[in-house]
């Protein structure tokens, strides 16, 4: 009851994460206006992409963009473009073939001892390169009965030792619901880790609130949080403070990035990103080769280019700050490392 009351008070705080989320920019016109960009030059392309995949940009993330710069690396991740409506061979709606790996509603099992729990289809930010931008989230919604079915399915598969909160963004739902999930999963004796894949502590640092830290502390098993940062400009003082609170609570912090054309496809940017992450208490984990999702071909960086970038990182960073370059290939038993020296 105390936690529920605290959550209600937090939700009515104008500086709370819920309030920040509610004030997100949701139209191309508003985004262009806020950044002082000429609507005549950018609006037609942005409107076309927006109709296919609606724009959503939280205020704290928008505040880190450079006004008047259409090539700002944070803006490029969220501004729709005409390229999104131009079909390209090889770019498909479900590049990872996840819909064939659904164990039960809301539960995706791609690997032997790990399963993805689709906590929600909501996100705080709509990244234009998202490999799930076409995912039928409405078919995977979890009501209370289906949540019980998920726990029963996990119980019937004792070789699943790690559950990964995913989505959407799992931290886009209430801490009350997340606490209920943790309580249910704590009943599974085989569970060794709870992993959370999220962008919210980066795009809305206020999301790391007392209620979140409370249910994290109640988890029987260690909590690993994999955040998603693509560019060092995404890490401001508020983000670093939020990550410090998670680390102080005992959460293991890792980062996964996607290699993106004209966002982070330079050696200097990737070096700066790894150093900034380490300074914030986060270890680089994966650098994902680009998934060929329909509507995002303009972000594509070839595997050869990605390989050359990571090769160039090796003499400039200690090994523990060099992310693993990987590709996810449907039906493989794990992520597939890309050989740096074929």
Q: How many domains does the chain have?
A: 2
Q: Say if residue 169 is in the same domain as residue 56.
A: no
Q: What's 166's domain CATH number?
A: 3.20.20.70
Residues 207, 309, single domain; the answer is yes
User: How far is the C-alpha of 74 from the C-alpha of 239, rounded, in Å?
Assistant: 15
What predicted TM-score, i.e. pTM, was given to this entire model? 0.93
Q: pLDDT, tens digit, for every residue of 126-172?
A: 999 988 888 776 677 788 888 899 999 999 999 999 999 998 899 99
Contact 76, 45 (CB under 8 A): no
For residue 90, is it within any domain?
no
Residue 93 domain-assigned (yes or no): no
> Which residues are CB-contacts of 315 (< 8 A; sequence separation ≥ 6)?
none
Q: Is residue 251 part of a domain?
A: yes
Average pLDDT, the chain: 92
Cα 325–327–328 angle (5° rounding)? Answer: 140
Render pLDDT for 42-65 as a digit per residue (tens, 0 to 9): 888 888 889 888 999 999 999 999
CA 73 – CA 66 distance, rounded (Å)? 9
Give yes or no: residues 244 and 332 share one domain.
yes
Q: Is residue 191 part of a domain?
A: yes
pLDDT tens for 85-111 read 888 898 988 877 877 778 888 898 988
Last residue within a domain, chosen from 30, 64, 85: 85
Regarding whether 136 and 65 lie in a shared domain, the answer is no
> 30 with 81, same domain?
yes
Domain that holds residue 43: 2-85
Q: Is 116 found in the same domain as 64?
A: no
Out of 85, 115, 131, a domain closes at 85
Task: Pick the closest to residue 91 from 49, 133, 140 (CA basis).
Answer: 133
Is 91 a domain residue? no
Q: Is residue 92 part of a domain?
A: no
Condensed to tens digits (0 to 9), the pLDDT of residues 71-90 reads 999 999 999 988 888 888 98
Tally of CB atoms within 10 A around 301: 18
211 and 182, same structural domain? yes
Q: Supply the angle between the helices 175-185 and 144-155 in degrees, to the nearest 10.
A: 30
> Cα(first)–Cα(last) distance of the chain, in Å?
58
CA distance 116 to 119: 9
């Amino acid at each position: 009851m105390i936690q529920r009351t605290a959550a209600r008070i937090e939700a009515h705080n104008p500086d709370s994460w819920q309030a920040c989320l509610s004030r997100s920019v949701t139209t191309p016109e508003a985004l262009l206006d806020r950044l002082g960009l000429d609507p005549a030059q950018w609006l037609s392309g942005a409107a076309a992409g927006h109709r296919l995949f609606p724009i959503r940009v939280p205020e704290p993330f928008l505040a880190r963009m450079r006004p008047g710069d259409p090539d700002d690396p944070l803006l490029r991740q969220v501004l729709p473009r005409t390229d999104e409506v131009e079909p390209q061979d090889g770019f498909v709606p479900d590049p990872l073939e996840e819909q064939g790996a659904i164990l039960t509603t809301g539960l995706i099992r791609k690997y032997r001892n790990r399963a993805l729990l689709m906590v929600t289809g909501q996100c705080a930010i709509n990244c234009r390169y998202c490999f799930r931008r076409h995912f039928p989230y409405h078919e995977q919604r979890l009501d209370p009965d289906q949540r019980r079915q998920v726990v029963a399915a996990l119980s019937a598969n004792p070789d699943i030792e790690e559950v990964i909160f995913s989505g959407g963004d799992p931290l886009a739902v209430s801490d009350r619901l997340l606490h209920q999930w943790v309580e249910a999963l704590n009943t599974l004796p085989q569970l060794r880790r709870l992993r959370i894949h999220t962008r919210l502590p980066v795009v809305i640092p206020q999301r790391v609130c007392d209620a979140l830290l409370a249910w994290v502390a109640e988890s029987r098993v260690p909590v690993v949080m994999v955040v998603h940062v693509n560019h060092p400009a995404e890490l401001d003082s508020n983000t670093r403070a939020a990550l410090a609170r998670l680390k102080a609570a005992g959460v293991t912090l890792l980062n996964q990035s996607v290699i993106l054309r004209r966002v982070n496809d330079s050696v200097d940017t990737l070096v700066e990103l790894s150093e900034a992450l380490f300074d914030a208490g986060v270890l680089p984990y994966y650098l994902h080769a680009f998934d060929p999702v329909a509507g995002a071909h303009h972000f594509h960086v070839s595997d050869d280019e990605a390989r050359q970038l990571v090769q160039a990182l090796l003499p400039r960073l200690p090994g523990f700050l060099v992310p693993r370059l990987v590709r996810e290939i449907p039906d493989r038993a794990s992520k597939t490392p890309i050989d740096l020296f074929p």
